[in-house]
Chain A
């Protein structure tokens, strides 16, 4: 061990240095506290400092305090030499940062075992420092991977709001962690049919995000054979080449079989709006039903849908159909909004507050509305760090 001795009385200093050298330590002896401080602050990485208590200029307690205030990668074990036995003095020394005491005149055996204890602490601390550095590296690698994965996930979110003469949309997505279990989709198909969904995978983190991304891929609108959102030909469901929402949910449930997703499942609200005539068709797979805001009122939507996806292999889903009126606003959201607790964790935000937040902003543009709702939620929570992913989509139908 590299040991620094601070002792102003030279016979004790020499005796101590000689003894420590005999035990194999690399010893530097300083004639007082100031010289010891200069040695220490000069960058030599001393493992152990043995310091006298009373020294001119810089006392032992002051030296200890200075050492402890110096940021160092490795810990320095400090033993104070003292003829003092007053409890208050020992308390002062320990409070200043000393680790141990040895009485003067020092007993060789006592000093030897106390140094052994110090060496054990220094070695343990070194091992811990090394392990911490390895953990930090590993953590940074994981975080870097998560950030990259989050970029991939977020690149799959809607690129922009869909705005046509008939419809306006806005959305907001606030993941709790780097990766989210929530997903939002927003597509205009055949220049007429607006497809919107919010889905929410149970749980958080990487497993939930992987399932979420996989579901998003399945719901991509490209008219390929694998697409479950589109058909190759026009259907008789008044939805052009878009599949009925209930059929999409059924197919999604077939692909994400129960028990094959690490026990995870997903809920989803999927709707298809004919932007030309305001006919809304939707299915709700275990997801909170959307809100339809008409002026300052809200309209109850048909309770149509089925179980969450990947809960059971054989599931049935229904579509509900609603005729929108010009100016109606439809809000799809995840349970992260309504289940967000207040700062005292006494009460959830709830559907009613969401309804009020939406209906009191009836005159505002959809984009402002989604921002205001999330602001209301943050005020309610007392923080912008929500307990769950928050997803919100507002669709305004402007009429024929």
Chain B
């Protein structure tokens, strides 16, 4: 199964510093999931601005892990939020959630190989 991130690019980005990578992956697991929850809450309360803001922050966070799929998912939700129309937000959030969870799981497994 292909990785959810570009391993070579990621390791270059962190200068092959596994400890630092493990620290940031843990932050992604905590903060990323918290942001996903925030996006869901904002979508449920029909608050497009909050959806856009949370998705924007999540997108920035994901961008550090060289994962085009998860990044594209966050960008899609951000754009929906900023459009002010949340009609199509549910499937986009689901796609984002799946890609982010997959990324976190894959990263966690990746760093654990060096633990």
Contact = CB atoms under 8 A, between A and B. Distances in A.
B57 A8 contact: yes
Nearest to A19: B15
A370 B64 CA distance: 81
A54 interface: yes
B27 interface: yes
B27 A10 contact: yes
A12 B61 contact: yes
A233 B20 CA distance: 104
Given A9-B57, A104-B63, A15 B15 contact: no
Nearest to B15: A22
Contact of A15 (B24, B53, B59): B24
Interface in B36-87: 53, 56-57, 59-61, 63-64, 66
A132 interface: no
B61 A9 contact: yes
A344 interface: no
A105 B68 CA distance: 11
Given A83-B63, A108-B13, A11 B28 contact: yes
B106 interface: no
Contact of A11 (B12, B27, B56, B66): B27
Nearest to B14: A15
> Chain B: interface residue count, which band?
10 to 19
Interface string A13-49: 0110010001000000000000000000000000000
A374 B2 CA distance: 92
Interface residues of A, number: 16
B60 A12 contact: yes
Interface string A154-192: 000000000000000000000000000000000000000
B28 A54 contact: no
A83 B63 CA distance: 10
A105 B64 contact: yes
Contacts of A52: 60
Given A18-B20, A22-B15, A11 B61 contact: yes
A81 B15 CA distance: 21
Nearest to B57: A9
B24 A14 contact: yes
Nearest to A10: B27
A105 B24 contact: no
B63 A12 contact: yes
Nearest to B75: A83
Interface in A34-75: 52, 54, 56
B64 A15 contact: yes
Contact of B31 (A10, A56, A104): A10
A356 B59 CA distance: 83
B13 A54 contact: no
B33 to A, nearest CB: 13
B22 to A, nearest CB: 12
B13 A12 contact: no
A52 B15 CA distance: 23
B108 to A, nearest CB: 15
B78 to A, nearest CB: 9
B80 to A, nearest CB: 16
Which 3 A-B pairs give the minimum distances between C-beta atoms? A105-B63, A9-B60, A11-B24
Interface of B: 12-15, 20, 23-24, 27-28, 31, 53, 56-57, 59-61, 63-64, 66
